[in-house]
Structure 1
């Protein structure tokens, strides 16, 4: 069973054929999918999808690119979803993104800390987005993240950073970028970190792996991520599929049976 641990199934890119996308995922052996949110509205959308489709789970939270749009009551509404909906297995997608000039870094940091505090108070793992912000992300985790667990989505850190995060209890999600020929750092890290800390994900509809690069991504393509990690580590693809699925079940606290 494949477990796509990060796919934005609510995205408008799927409005015309969402059911068909999910059918293709099932046909490809994807038994579970985690849908992470970016704000209050998409948190509600993730939960709604999980209500209607077996094997879909939700993460709720505020993405750093939405940090300056937070309205009064949003965080409490997200808390209520996490408390009341059994499909919610993580707080995410949250973190820092310094690729753009906005939102202001202080605003992003403030929301990130609030999301960490939410995850800790609910005893849920966290799904972290860290784009060009490794230093501040690590500093915030050191200061506020004692006892926190979770995953770094679309991991792009160094081996040195990985070593510290392993000690802190984190897992590492690899997307279609690890399949890209020039993704040397991602390939190096994926080939060397402990196998029991690796997750596979698509970040659908983004980051489509070869051979579909240039088209819309979807959960069925998570198999290509598993196959590349297997190639890098000299393993059988089925072994990587089984191990990464077990890792996902463990970190998100999901029972073996759907």
Structure 2
């Protein structure tokens, strides 16, 4: 367990169900561990319809938990009206704070690119209709993700979850007003370009996440990841950006509260 951060942060993207949580007690245990490290709130994110339904329900079990719902791009091969109707219903719930994760994934070959792009365009429109931020999954698809956002017209708030681009892509995202969320990958020894990207992002345009149970920060790669591990990434980002840990933690907290409207979320 890392030392407690000097200011509470938000894990802006985690998967509590994939971390092993099933019940409200499971969720509470995970979030309690996170809070002891200074990670006081989490956004649990869906990747399919069942996960979206669970995430929306789990967000009502603990006031520190919020949800994001969508169908992951790798699961959009069959994404029909029934799925769209249910995602939209969930997206309108008060403790669902984002539409995501959606976007494009050209690394895996589970869904055709045209099916992914059609679903991505629908999720962009949904985010605008419900007035909530869009949380993007972008893997090996930077140019098409940026092109589709431009063609469709981006929502007011766009978050690039687990940002994976270099300095050039980061600059284009920053100039477009998008928010870049950094995960444990920024701590990896071979992530020089990602760290360069992390240096140039303005303090009001970054978030911190775990993507747990995946992408455990260095030097714990290979071990299970949980929201408390966001504290390691915060400390690494402080070193990369040459500022104090408190400054990174405060910026990440304020940005999450602004982007996800956390202070205005009520209800179960």
Normalised to the residue count of structure 1, the TM-score between the two structures is 0.94
CA distance in 1: counterparts of 2:17 and 2:235, whole angstroms: 26
Query: Of residues 38, 47, 52 in structure 2, which corresponds to 1:43?
Result: 52
Q: Give the equivalent residue in structure 1 for 2:76.
A: 67
- Please give the residue correspondences for 1:124-163 in structure 2 after superposition, counting only pairs within 5 Å: 124-163=132-171
Please give the secondary structure, in 2, of the residue aligned with 1:195.
Answer: coil
Query: Of residues 39, 61, 80 in structure 1, which corresponds to 2:89?
Result: 80
CA distance in 2: counterparts of 1:190 and 1:70, whole angstroms: 34
Deviation digits for residues 79-114 of structure 1, max 9, x if unmatched? 11222x210111000000000222110111110111
Shift of 1:245: 0.8
* Structure 1 segments unaligned to the other structure (5+ residues): none
Deviation digits for residues 4-23 of structure 1, max 9, x if unmatched? 00000122634595443222
Deviation digits for residues 113-135 of structure 1, max 9, x if unmatched? 11001111111110000000011
Q: Give the equivalent residue in structure 1 for 2:4.
A: none
Normalised to the residue count of structure 2, the TM-score between the two structures is 0.91
Q: How many residues align?
A: 257
What is the root-mean-square deviation in Å for CA atoms of aligned residues? Answer: 1.8
* Structure 2 segments unaligned to the other structure (5+ residues): 1-7
Q: Give the equivalent residue in structure 2 for 1:11.
A: 18
Please give the secondary structure, in 1, of the residue aligned with 2:135.
Answer: strand
CA distance in 2: counterparts of 1:192 and 1:167, whole angstroms: 11
Change (3 A) 1:72 1:256: closer
- Please give the residue correspondences for 1:1-258 in structure 2 after superposition, counting only pairs within 5 Å: 1-11=8-18, 13-15=20-22, 18-83=27-92, 85-255=93-263
Q: Give the equivalent residue in structure 1 for 2:5.
A: none
Q: Hey, which bits of structure 1, 4+ residues long, moved more than 6 A?
A: none
Shift of 1:148: 4.0
CA distance in 1: counterparts of 2:22 and 2:187, whole angstroms: 27
Shift of 1:182: 1.1
CA distance in 2: counterparts of 1:241 and 1:126, whole angstroms: 22
CA distance in 1: counterparts of 2:121 and 2:168, whole angstroms: 23
Please give the secondary structure, in 2, of the residue aligned with 1:177.
Answer: helix
Deviation digits for residues 211-242 of structure 1, max 9, x if unmatched? 32111100000011100110011111111111
Give the conservation status (yes or no) of the 8 Å contact 1:156–1:185: no
Deviation digits for residues 144-165 of structure 1, max 9, x if unmatched? 0244422001101232222222
Shift of 1:256: 7.7
CA distance in 1: counterparts of 2:264 and 2:197, whole angstroms: 28
Higher helix proportion: 1
